[in-house]
Amino acid sequence: MKTRIRNACCAVILALSVCAMGMLPASSMAAEEKKFVIKPVAEKRLTQLPAGPLYWLLENFPTLAQAQAAAGGTSLAAEVAGKVWLFTLGPKDSPTRGGSKVIQIGPVPSITAPEYLLRINHAGGPPGAKTRAHSHPGSEAFYVLAGRLGQKTLHGISYAEAGQSMNGHGAGMPMVVFNSGTTDLDQLVMFVADATKPFSTPAKLE
């Protein structure tokens, strides 16, 4: 009788283990499907920024070599989403550097730092994907390649569609960035940050 009870208990434990093993991969897959992916594609450190209100100028070039050759002191070249881009931080209505102008975004909220970090990220994810609440020691500006961007801050929620931009808030602003559409979000993110501080810090956003 004891042997039968032991066998029955083992069978129950085995069944529960199989169920758990079957459920875990599905749960992991669901989490993976909702993941907000962020990939740094270019960055540069500077000890000084140009004077006056600054804007991001985005241009497309035929080749990466051409974009790199046209880059100035505050420019970053990268190949992203099947195109070659040149991102240049400078005054409003700055002339292009030989590429096809896509958009100008700004003015960038100003910061003062002993060293500055210019960084370009390629980010996005499926519907429902979002970042954790966080802040940066500087500003970020967005250009949406595809989908619908959402950004929640202490000031509320803002949205931008494909082909539109969203200018960033000042340093230290808590935020959550998310896909607010029904298709995959694909976006470029331009940062001007204090290079001497952690690039991203967990934050609380009620």
Q: What's the average model confidence in pLDDT over 156-175? A: 96
- Token digits of residue 30: 């669901």
* Whole-number pLDDT of residue 38: 98
Q: Is the pLDDT of residue 206 over 80?
A: no
With beta carbons less than 8 A apart as the criterion, state whether 66 and 122 touch: no
Residue 34 predicted with pLDDT over 90: no
How far apart (Å, rounded) are the C-alpha atoms in residues 109 and 170? Answer: 5
Report the percent of the chain where pLDDT is more than 70.
84
Please report the pLDDT score of residue 21 as a whole number: 39
**Is 42's pLDDT higher than 50?**
yes
Instruction: Indicate the pLDDT class of residue 195, thresholds 50, 70 and 90.
Output: very high
Does residue 98 have a pLDDT over 50?
yes
pTM above threshold 0.95:
no
**19-33, 41-55, 92-106, 164-178: least confidently modelled range:** 19-33
Please list, residue by residue across 84-115, b when 16 or more beta carbons sit within 10 angstroms of its beta carbon and e when fewer do. bbbbbbbeeebeebebeebebbbebbebebee
Beta strands in 154-197 (DSSP E): 156-161, 165-166, 175-179, 185-194
